Structure 1
Amino acid sequence: MKYMPLMFLLCFASAINAQQKTPLGNVVISSEKGETRIYEENSQLRMNVSPKDVRKYKTAGLVRYSDFGAKADGKTDDINAIAATHAFANAHGLRVKADDNATYYISGKERTAVIRTDTDFGKAAFIIDDTEVQNRHAAVFTVSSALKPFNLQAVTSLKRNQEKIDASLPGPCLITVTNANVKQYIRFGLNQNNGSSQTDIFVVDKNGKVDMNAPIIWDFDQITEITALPIDENPLKITGGRFTTIANKAESKYTYYNRNIAIRRSNVIVDGLEHRITGEGDHGAPYGGFINIGDCSYVTVKNTVLTGHKTYSTIGAAGKPVTMGTYDLSVNRALNVSFVNCTQTNDINDNTYWGILGSNFCKNLLYDHCTLSRFDAHQGVANATIRNSTLGHMGINAIGSGMLLVENSTIRGRSIVNLRSDYGSTWQGELVIRNCVFVPANGKPGNVSLISGSYSGQHDFGYTCYMPQKITIENLRIEDSQHPENYQGPAIFTNFNPEMKDDSYQEKFPYVKTREVVLRNVTTASGKAVRVSDNTFMFKDVRIEGIK
C-alpha cells in the first residue's frame, strides 16, 4: 500500500518503509531511502525522514528542531523546520526539545506548528516577527488533540443546572452548545453590538453526567448546534521558552493579530514560559493574546512571565474614539483555567499598557500568586477566584454568575471589583472579599468605591441583570489616606444610576439589587467610616451588617 492511514502507522510503526506517507498538521511525511529533508511543494510542507533516522529518533524518544534543519541563528526563518519537527513528533508520540543556546527566528509566513506531544522549549529564544504577516489569524503554535469532535444531535434542549444529558459517550467530553436564535451580551456603549448567540460549555462523563462544579448556566429551549470533544486523559506539558514578539505596525483598528500559542486541547500545563514585546511605536493593531486558550478545560499556566501591550485608539462602533483592548492572555469558551505564579515585565500600574487578560464564556477561572495588571471577564464567567495576588491599574472587571472570591490580595484599581457596565453590571451570585488590601487608583487622590458599575435599566442586554445577591467583606484594609478635602469616606457601591433619585424613575429592564452586605473588620487609613453609596435611594432596601 502506497498510502497508509495514520492509525495504522502508529500501531505498526516498525513497518515504516519507503512507500508509506501520511499528512499530519498540514505536513506530508514520508520515509524513503536517502537524506532526511524538508521542502515545500505548492505551499505544502513536506518532509522525508530516512528509515535510519526514524529508528534513531524513536530510540532517543525525542526530536529537536535542529534534526530537521533549523539554523537557530536568529536570522534564518525556522518556522518550516519547527512545524516539521512537531508533525514528525506527533506521528510517533515523541517529545520535542529545543536547543538551549538556540535563537529561532519565525517570520510572518503562514505556517502553524501543531503541538500534540510534550514540548520543552527550555532556555531557547524565539523571535516572532510580526512586521510582515501573511495571515494575522494563523497561530504560530496550536496545541491540539488527536481526538475528534462529534455532534450530539439527539440533545435538543437544556435547562440551567441540569445534572445529566441523554448521551452515551466514549469517555469524559467537553460539550459546547449554541442557540443562534437567542442573542445575549448585547453590548452597550462605545463598542456597542447586536450581541452573541446564546452559548454554554460544560464537561460530562461517559454517561452524560454534568460536572456540577461548572454547571449549565442557561436554559436552552432550542439548540442549533451541540458538539462533544473527548478530553485527553494524560496531561500535555509545555515548558520553558523565551519568546519575543516584534510588534506589528499595522493601522490602529480592530484587526486583531493572533500570532500566538493557541491552546485547543484539554489537560495542558504551560510552565516557565516568558513572553516579551519589542518594536511598539505610535500605532499598531491589537493582539488577541499570546497565550490564547479556547474550547478546552483543565489548563494551567504557571511560573510564566508575560508583557502588557501598548494601548492604541481607534473609532468604535458608536462613531467615537475608543481605546482598543489588546491582550497577552486570552481565554474563550474554556473551563477550569488557572494562572499560578504569573507576572508581567512592565509596570502593572502603567496605564499606557492595556490590561493583560481578556476572557469570554468561561467557568472556574483562577489567579493564584499572580502580579498582573488586570483580571477581566467580558461575556461572563461562572465562578472566579483571585487569591494571594496583586492586581494593577485595571483591577478586577467581571460579569457573570456563581462565586466571585477575592482573598489575600492587594487591589490597586479604581475599585475592588468593577461590574462591567457594557454588559449590564451583572453578577448572579455571591461576592466575597476577604483578607485584602485596597489601594484606590494606586494611591491617587479621589473618591473611593469598593464596587463599581453602571446600570440605567433602559438597555436590553439579552438577560436579566443582577447585582451580587450577597456581598461579604471581611478583614479589608483601605489605603485612602490620599483623598480630596470633601471626601466622605469609602462607599460600598458607586452611584450605579444617578438618574434614579426616587420612585418616579422607571426601569424598562429592572435591575435585581443586592439583598445583603456583611462587613467585618473593615478599616481605613483616612479614619473615615465606610458608607453605603452616594445614591442612598437606590440601595435603601439593602440589608447591611457591620456599618455604623
Structure 2
Amino acid sequence: MMKYTNLMFLFLNSMLVAQAQNKAPLENTVVITSEEQKIRVYTRDNEELHVNVSPKDVLKFKAAGTVRYSDFGAKGDGKADDIDVIAATHAFANLHRLSVKADDGATYYIGGKERRAVIRTDTDFGAAAFIIDDTEVKNRNASVFTVSSGLKPFKLETIASLKRNQKKINVSLPGPCLITVTDSNVKQYIRFGLNQNNGSSKTDIFVADKNGKVDMKAPIIWDFEQITDITALPIDEHLLKITGGHFTTIANKDESKYAYYNRNIAIRRSHVLVEGLQHHIKGEGDHGAPYGGFINIGECAYVTVKNTILTGHRTYSTIGAAGKPVTMGTYDLSVNRALNISFVNCSQTNDINDNKYWGILGSNFCKNLLYDGCTLSRFDAHQGVANATIRNSTLGHMGINAIGSGLLTIENSTVRGRSFVNLRPDYGSTWQGELVIRNCIFVPANGKPISASLISGSYSGQHNFGYMCYMPERITIENLRIDDSGHPDNYHGPAIFANFNPEMTDNTYQEKFPYVKTREVMLRNVTTASNKALRISDNQVMFKDVKVKIN
C-alpha cells in the first residue's frame, strides 16, 4: 500500500511542478517506490529515474528529518557521475518534506547528461565540493538544480486592463500572489545598436495580497489598455534555505555565439535564502559560449543571496544583430522577472577591474534590487528595474548600468567604472524617477586617464524604444569624492552629464522622440582630487535648462 501511496503523492507533486512554471516540466520523472529491498537508484531505458526506499528506511529518514546524498549511494569521489543520486535524494526529500545534507569532504561530479535536481526543502551543501562539467552537455538549457514551488498558478480571466500605480486589482486571491501580466500586442525595450532587436512584449510583475491590494513598494509601472495574459502564482510563505557548497564549473568549449549555457542553480520559488555558497570556473580558453548566470533568479520574490563568492566569466566576441562584432554578455548572477532581490556581502574570485571578464550581474524586468556590502564588477538593470539600492559596496570596471524608474540610491560606496552611473543607451538612457548619490567615492576608469562624467548615456531622439525616455527628474549628490588625479592633459574637470547627443549643437536640432531632461541637480560637498570644479556637461545646449543648486 505504501508503494502506491508514494506514487500518488509523487504524481501530484510532479504535476504541480510542471504547472507552476507554465512551461516544460522542471525535472525528469522520478518514480519513488517503497518495497522491501535496500535503497536503490536506477534508470530505465527511457532515462526515467527510479528510487526505491524500504518502509523501514522511510521511517528512519522521517524520524531523522534529513537525508544525505550518501544515503542514496552517491560516491562523492569526484569521478563517478552522481547527478542521478542527487536528483533522487531531493525527489525523496521533497515527497517527505525532509531537509537534504551533502557530505562534508565529498566531491560530487556532475557530467553533461540532462538531469535536474529539484529542491523544495532546506538544503545544506556544507563543505562538499561539486564539479559541473560542461565540456560535453546534452542540454545546455537544463539547470543542474532548480529551486521550485509546489504551488499552482492560475489565470485571472476577469482583469482586462491595469493602470500605472493602481493600488488594488478587483479579485480575491487565496493569499499573497505574484502577478505577471503581458500585452503581446505592444512592444517595448526595442533595442538600439549592435544588438538591435524588435523589442519585448509589454510586461509587468507585482505582488497582491488576498484582497487584491498591490504592494506599492513594487508598484505597477505601466498602463495596460489590454491584456493578453495575466497569471497569479501563490507565494510560499516559509523561508527555504540553501547553505554552503563549493561549486566549480568546467567551462564549455563551444563556438562563441549567442547560445547561452544555463547549467546552474535556478531559483523559481519565493522566500529563498542562499548563504555561504562559492562558485569557481575552470578551463576557459580562447573561445566559448556565454553563460546565463550560475545563480539564476526568476519569476519569484523575496530572495537573498548572502556571504557568497562568485566568479566573472571570460568575455568572448561574436557577430551581433547589426552584422558587426560585439562582445557577448556572460553572467554568474542573473535576475529576471523578480521582486525584492538582495545580494548581501557578496564578492568575486577574479579582479573586479579586469576587463577580460564580463560584468557579473545581468537583470531584466525587476523591482527592488539591492547590493549591500558587495565587491563586484558590475550592477546592471538591462530591460529595466523599478527601484534599486547600492550601499556599502565597491563596483569595478563595468560600474553601475541602469535603466528604469523609481528611486536609484547609491550610498557609502566606491565606483571604479568609466562613469558613476551609466544610463544604458541601447534602451534609451531612461530613468523615470530620482537618483541619489550619498557618501561615495568615484575613481573614473579605475584611475586611467579619462575625462570624467558622473552620469553617462546617449540619446539621439531618432529611435523609438517603445516608451517615452526620461533622465532622472531630480539628482541629489551629497558628500562625493571624485578621484580624478589620473586625468588627461586637456582635462577641464568632471562633468555631471556626459555629452548624450553630440549632434545637438543648437536649438534647431529636432528630436523625433523627445527626451525628458533632468529638472534639477542638488550638490553638497562634492570634491575633486584635481581641484577642478564640477561642470554640467560638454553639451551646454542639451542641458541648458537644468537647474544646479549648491548647498
The answer on 1:32 being equivalent to 2:35 is yes
Q: Select 1:185's aligned residue among 184, 189, 195.
A: 189
Deviation at 1:3, TM superposition (A): 4.0
Q: Shift in Å at residue 484 of structure 1?
A: 1.2
Pairwise CA distance, 1:4: 3.8
Separation of aligned partners in 2, 1:540 and 1:503: 10
Residues 518-533 of structure 1: pairs in structure 2 closer than 5 A? 518-533=522-537
Question: Take 1:9 and 1:83, find their aligned partners in 2: how far apart are those partners?
Answer: 14
For 1:20, the equivalent position in structure 2 comes to none
Counterparts of residues 205-354 of structure 1 (less than 5 Å): 205-354=209-358
Q: Which of 51, 55, 60 is the aligned partner of 2:55?
A: 51
* Distance of 1:154 and 1:86 partners within structure 2: 38
Which of 424, 430, 436 is the matching residue for 2:428? 424
Are 1:248 and 1:285, in contact at CA under 8 Å, matched by a contact in 2? yes
Residue 363 (structure 1) aligned to one of 357, 364, 367: 367
Q: Distance in 2 between matches of 1:178 and 1:8?
A: 33
Establish whether residue 540 from structure 1 lines up as the match of residue 506 from structure 2: no
List runs of 5+ in structure 2 lacking aligned partners: 13-25
Counterpart of 1:472? 476
- What residue ranges of structure 1 are gaps of 5+ in the alignment? 12-22
Say if 1:54 and 1:457 are closer, same or farther in 2 by CA, change over 3 A: same
> What are the Cα deviations for residues 317-339 of structure 1, in whole angstroms up to 9, with x where unaligned?
00000000000000000000000
1:69-120 CA distance string (max 9 Å, x none): 1000000000000000000000000000000110000001100000000000
Q: 1:257 to 1:10 in 2, by over 3 A?
A: closer
- Report matched runs for 1:394-405 at 5 Å: 394-405=398-409
Corresponding position: 1:132 with 2:132: no
Instruction: Answer whether contact 1:24 1:87 (CA < 8 A) is retained.
Output: no
SS in structure 2 at match of 1:346: coil
Give the CA RMSD over aligned residues: 1.4
Contact 2:10 2:32 in 1 (8 A): no
Q: Is the 8 A contact 2:7 2:31 kept in 1?
A: no
SS in 2 for 1:80: helix
Letter in 2 for 1:522: V
Q: Residue 93 of structure 1 is aligned with which of 94, 97, 108?
A: 97
The percentage of aligned residue pairs carrying the same residue is: 80
- Aligned pairs, number: 536
Whether the 8 Å CA contact 1:179–1:220 is kept in 2: the answer is: yes
**Aligned residue in 2 for 1:18:** none
Contact persistence 2:461–2:512 (CA under 8 A): yes
1:489-500 equivalences under 5 Å are 489-500=493-504
Contact kept in structure 1, 2:10 and 2:31, CA below 8 Å: no
Cα offset, 1:159, TM superposition: 0.4
Give 1:26 deviation, angstroms.
2.1
Preserved contact between residue 27 and residue 116 of structure 2 (Cα < 8 Å) = no
Equivalence for 1:14: none
Question: Which amino acid counterpart does residue 289 of structure 2 have in structure 1?
Answer: A
Q: Equivalents in 2 of 1:361, 1:6: separation in Å? A: 38
Q: Is the 8 A contact 1:6 1:91 kept in 2?
A: no
1: CA distance, partners of 2:5 / 2:461: 62
- For 1:149 and 1:321, locate their aligned partners in 2 and report how far apart those are by CA, in whole Å: 42
| Residues 24 and 347 of structure 1, relative CA distance in 2, 3 Å threshold | closer
Answering whether residue 419 of structure 2 is matched by residue 415 of structure 1, we say yes
Counterpart selection for 1:76 from 76, 80, 83: 80
After superposition, give the CA deviation of every residue in 1:293-336 in whole Å (9 maximum; x if it has no partner): 00000000000000000000000000000000000000000000
What amino acid is aligned across from residue 347 of structure 2 in structure 1?
T
For residues 28 and 8 of structure 2, what CA distance do their matches in structure 1 show?
15
Shift of 1:422: 0.1
Q: Provide TM-score, normalisation by structure 2.
A: 0.96
Q: CA deviation at 1:461?
A: 0.1
Can you list the C-alpha shifts for 1:122-152, whole angstroms capped at 9, x where unaligned? 0000000000000000000000001111111
SS in 2 for 1:532: strand
Which whole-Å CA distance do the structure 2 matches of 1:391 and 1:9 have between them? 45
Given that 2:406 and 2:434 are in contact with CA atoms closer than 8 Å, whether structure 1 keeps it comes out as yes
- Amino acid in the other structure paired with 1:135: N
The 5 A counterparts of 1:366-515 are 366-515=370-519
Please state whether the residue corresponding to 2:211 is helix, strand or coil. Answer: coil
Q: 2:194–2:326: 8 Å Cα contact kept in structure 1?
A: yes
Residue 54 of structure 1 aligns to a residue in which SS?
A: helix
TM-score, with normalisation over the residues of structure 1?
0.96
Distance change (3 Å), C-alpha of 1:337 and 1:7:
farther
